Amino acid sequence: MSTQEPHSDRIELLQGTLDVLILKTLALGRRHGQGIARAIEETSGDEFLIDHGSLYPALKRLEKRGWIVAEWGVSANNRRARFYELTAAGRARVGVEEARWHRLVAAMGRVLDAGGSAGG
């Protein structure tokens, strides 16, 4: 299932970005996959599109790294779902990843601001 809209103006996520968004979202509490996707989309002001074809492999990757754990439970609409939460290692990783992304954004800003506007 995808939340993708045809001809959407939403921003596509760069490789590796989804992992940090998932970790940060789970730092706020336990959620199931659809809840994680919705939370990221809503928090971004609906700028980010979370495709389920990317979400679930990312969740598996984070689980394999030991940063999240999953268990089966019942969602708010009474459906069986896997709920994810951070491990202690995942909590520590959130800070590392946030710092890394802030450095990346600052570096991108410096490059984009260098030399004035494009074409001028």
* DSSP string of 44-103, one letter each residue: TTT-B---HHHHHHHHHHHHHTTSEEEEEEE-TTS-EEEEEEE-HHHHHHHHHHHHHHHH
Residue 32: name the closest of 64, 67, 79, 99 by CA. Answer: 79
With 50 as the cut, is the pLDDT of residue 10 above it?
yes
pLDDT tens readout for residues 44-94: 999 998 988 999 999 999 999 999 999 999 999 999 999 999 999 999 999
Is residue 49 within 8 A of residue 11, CB to CB? The reply is yes
The per-residue pLDDT of the chain, averaged, comes to 88
With 60 as the cut, is the pLDDT of residue 3 above it?
no
Q: Distance between CA atoms of 101 and 95, rounded to whole angstroms?
A: 10
Q: How is domain 17-113 classified at the CATH fold level?
A: Arc Repressor Mutant, subunit A (1.10.10)
With 50 as the cut, is the pLDDT of residue 7 above it?
no
With 70 as the cut, is the pLDDT of residue 19 above it?
yes
With 90 as the cut, is the pLDDT of residue 16 above it?
no
pLDDT tens readout for residues 24-37: 999 999 999 999 99
- List the chain domain ranges: 17-113
φ/ψ (deg, to 5) at 80? -70, 130
